[in-house]
Structure formats: structure tokens, C-alpha cells
Amino acid sequence: MAAPGDVRRVTAPTRRPTVLVVGAGGYFGRQLVEELLSETSARVIAAGRDVARLEQTFCDRLGEGSRLSVTRVDLHDGSTVEAALHGVGVCIGAAGPFQKLPQTLLHAALAREVAYIDLSDDRRFCDVVLARAADAAVPVATGWSVLPALVGVLARRATEAFDVVTSLDLSIAPGNRMPRAHGTVASLLASVGRPIEVWRDGACLTVSGWSEPAPFDYPAPVGRRKGWLVDVPGLDVLGRTFGADRVEFRVGGEIGFLNVLVSALAWPVRWRIVPSWVPCAGLLRCGMALFGRFGTSVGAVGVEASGRRAGHGVRARVTLVAEHDGHRIPVLPAVEMARHLLDGSEPRTGPLPPHDWIGWDDLLVSCERRGYRLNCAEATMVDDG
Ligand SMILES: NC(=O)c1ccc[n+]([C@@H]2O[C@H](COP(=O)([O-])OP(=O)(O)OC[C@H]3O[C@@H](n4cnc5c(N)ncnc54)[C@H](OP(=O)(O)O)[C@@H]3O)[C@@H](O)[C@H]2O)c1
């Protein structure tokens, strides 16, 4: 399988300025459509299984002269995917949960030489994309959301002064004011109590999902947040890229009670009393919505790196904090990647590397535009003992 660093550089082609968003009626799909319309001059096609619902969702944006149109795509029906890609330069898969989706969008995109982006947070889905895209003639960006694309860039920044990287602790702290939708909640529950993979001692190791809580220190207003291990793509890729012995990812919601409830749900799955809580995603979603009023829209993503510099142990932390609209963070990487693909500033083909797809200054600008704060704590010496 090609690692997403073994990319080939070619002259960037001029891409047709049309972006197809599949799953456009979903929580993140809607945000993608809005940001693509405001951040690019491309035409945007919002695709999903129910066109009438899409027309209702985007009724303010549709109409004569609009850059937005809607079309029907069911990822289980390859002919609808083929038809929707006609005249498209970049496609984005934002449907979910990815655990249940076929690879029809990727197959059709590769056949038609359309640049491909997805927001997958499913490790197996991303692995299949990476394998299939090894010889792709177009750029392929899988997992182009928080994990692994955004944390990859934060990890590169955190470790740039290191001689040796030993560990990367990756973390997100979502706010609860805007409770997540079915796709994200189902995906989260897929990890609860189930075997998941982390990167330890330089290899993939299976542990139990939603276990081993540990705190992460974010800047104010988030502060210290306890997070639990969940299954995500790219830990192995980041481990190999940075030569780290250990890479782990934890998520810690804003309402402590809900975190404790989810970690309690892990036990019946570990004891094999319940196979999985995914069918109960709707119930958990309602619970999160009930507690929404007690939450905020603050969101944060962080990387704490440990390693060695000039013979000493060092530690550095890089964080992105959104004091408002934290729920929009997950679409930033796909929107920025779409911009790069459309303006020809991403000339590579094949799987794109999650740690090296946007310069730090560009990321700063795109965060400032959205009102997000990037913080880089200077690398500090730590006690070698
Ligand atoms: N990598 C990361 O860091 C990261 C971060 C955040 C989210 N995500 C992932 O992004 C995905 C989307 O999340 P979300 O919260 O936006 O989910 P959501 O609100 O439930 O939306 C999912 C959308 O997918 C559509 N869909 C499902 N099956 C489809 C199919 N066969 N063909 C076409 N469309 C289909 C649904 O359409 P219908 O309305 O017709 O059912 C719905 O509009 C989730 O899998 C989530 O885990 C990843």
C-alpha cells in the first residue's frame, strides 16, 4: 500500500471549477456547501439521496444565477454517482457513517480523473482508499477532517524543532451547544467498548475503545479536558511519518456526565452482553441535544508532542481553539484542500500526506478568517529522569 507521503509531483492541471458534495444534507455536508460557496468561486453541487429535502435545506441559496445546484446521489447506486460527476473537478464525500458506505465515489472519481476528498473517520475505509489510490492520476485526500488531516499539520508544527519524536498525544474537545448528527454519533459509538487500534512501541496495538482516560491541557476557555481513546484513521501513518513510538487520540466532550455515561456503556460491550451501541445512536443524540443548553459552541483540537532535542527531553503543544462555531472545525481541511485543488496550488497525485498539505502561514490565515486561534507553546525541556 502506498503511504500518503509517497506522492508524485506533476504540473497542476486546471480543474473544472465545480465541486460535488455528497451527503450535502448532513450536518457537516451543509457546512461544507456553505463554506465552499463563501470561500471559493466554484460552482457547488449538493448531492444526497433526497433531492426534495436538499432543495428545502438550501432554498435560500438556490435559484437563477446561483452557483449552487442539487442532484440525487445514492452511494449504493454507482450509476447515480457516475452521472453526478459529469463536469466536476473536485468531489467531497461527506456522507456517513463511513463504516457503512461503499467506495463508489472513489472508484468513479478515479475513473473520471476527478480529484477526491473525504471526511472519513473510519480506519478501514481510509485504508481501502489509500490502497486503491496508490497509482491514482489525481490527488486523493482521505480523512480530510480533524483526523488525520488537521492534527497531522499541528503535529508537524509541534515537532519541527525536535531531533527525535517519541510520542504524539492527539485530542479534541468538542462543545455540546450544537449536538452532532447521526453520522458522527454512530461513528463515535462504533468505538465504544470495541477493539480499536492505537500506535504503541512503533506498531499498531489493539486496545478497548473509550478506555484509558487522560487529561489534555488546552488554553482558556477550554482548560483541562479529560479524553478517552477512540478509533480513528491515520495513527499508523503519523507514527511512521514522525518516527514516533506512540500516537494516541482521545476525545473528551464538554458535559462530564455524558463522558461518564459513554464510558459506562463500554462495559456491556467488553463483557459481550451488547454487541454494539451503534443502533442506539439516535437515543444518544437526543440525550446530547437535551444537554445542549448546558454546553457552549467552543471547540478545540490539540497535539502534545514529546521527544528529544540536543540530547534533552522536550515537550511541545500546539492547539486550535474556536471560541465560537467550534462545530465548524471539521470542515476546514476539506474546504482548504478544495481551494488548493481548484486554484492549482496542489500539484501532487495519489494519496496526499496528512502532515504536509498546507503551510503554517496559510493555516493561520484560514483560522483567522474563521475566528479560530492557533497556539504554539514553545518546546520546553523536561526532566530526563
Ligand atoms: N475524520 C474526522 O475527523 C471527522 C470529523 C467529523 C465527522 N466525520 C464524519 O463525517 C461523516 C458525516 O457526519 P455528519 O455528522 O454530517 O452525519 P449526518 O448529519 O448523519 O449526515 C450524513 C449524511 O450522509 C448521507 N448518506 C448516508 N448514506 C448515504 C448514501 N448511501 N448515499 C448518499 N448519501 C448518504 C445522509 O443522507 P440521508 O439524509 O439521505 O440519510 C446524510 O445527509 C460521519 O461519518 C462522521 O463520522 C469525520
Can you read off the three cell numbers belonging to residue 267? 462495559
Residue 300 lies in a domain: yes
> For position 375, what pLDDT does the model report?
93
Q: How far is the CA of 46 from the centre of ligand 1 (A)?
A: 13
Nearest to 20 by CA among 58, 46, 56: 46
- Residue written as grid cell 449536538: 179
- Predicted confidence at residue 9, as pLDDT, reads 52
DSSP bridge partners of 199: 204, 247
Beta pairing partners, 247? 168, 199
Give, using CA atoms, the residue closest to atom 26 of ligand 1.
95
How far, in Å, from the CA of 202 to the mean position of ligand 1? Answer: 32
Helix/strand/coil for 339: helix
Dist. CA 326 → ligand 1 center (Å): 18
The minimum-distance atom of ligand 1 relative to the CA of 53 is 39
User: Looking at residue 6, what is its pLDDT?
Assistant: 56
Task: Please give the helix or strand (H or E) that residue 157 lies within, else none.
Answer: helix 151-158
118 and 164 share one domain: no
Q: For the segment 79-135, what is each residue's pLDDT rounded down to a tens digit?
A: 999 999 999 999 999 999 999 899 999 999 999 999 999 999 999 999 999 999 999
Claim to verify: residue 309 and residue 372 sit in the same structural domain: yes
In a domain, 311, yes or no: yes
**CA 59 → CA 28, 36, 54, 64, distances in Å?**
18, 16, 8, 12
Same domain? 204 vs 284: yes
Q: What is the pLDDT of residue 255?
A: 82
2 part of a folded domain: no
Q: What's the number of domains the chain is made of?
A: 2
**CA–CA separation, 23 and 98 (whole Å):** 11
Q: Are residues 125 and 199 in the same domain?
A: no
Cis (ω within 30 of 0) for the bond into 347? no
| For ligand 1, mutation pick of 20, 73, 182, 184 (most atoms within 8 Å of CB) | 184
Interatomic CA distance for residues 288 and 300, integer angstroms: 18
Q: Are 158 and 376 in contact (CB under 8 A)?
A: yes
**Structural domain of 171:** 147-326+366-382
One domain for residues 55 and 109: yes
Please report the pLDDT score of residue 13 as a whole number.
Answer: 63
Residues 265-314 have pLDDT tens digits of 999 999 999 999 899 888 888 877 777 677 788 999 999 999 999 999 99
Note whether 316 and 184 are same-domain residues: yes
The Cα–Cα gap between 123 and 196 comes to 9
* Co-location of 273 and 254 in the same domain: yes
Given the DSSP bridges, would you call strands 372-382 and 312-322 parallel, antiparallel or unpaired?
antiparallel
CATH number for the domain that contains residue 193: 3.30.360.10
Residue type, 262: V
In this structure, is residue 135 part of a structural domain?
yes
Q: Residue 185: what residue type? A: V
Pair 47, 183 in one domain: no
**Which residues of the chain fall short of a pLDDT of 70?**
1-14, 178-180, 292, 383-385
What's the CATH code of the domain at 86?
3.40.50.720
163 and 111 co-located in one domain: no
Interval between CA 251 and ligand 1 midpoint (Å): 19
Residue 273 lies in a domain: yes
- Predicted local confidence at residue 137, as pLDDT: 96
In a domain, 43, yes or no: yes
Q: Are residues 79 and 225 in the same domain?
A: no
Q: Could you tell me if residue 1 is inside a domain?
A: no
> 170: Cβ below 6 Å to ligand 1?
no
Judge whether 308 and 12 are in contact, CB under 8 Å.
no
79 plus 141 within the same structural domain: yes
- Please tell me whether residues 298 and 173 are part of one structural domain: yes
Domain assignment present for 201: yes
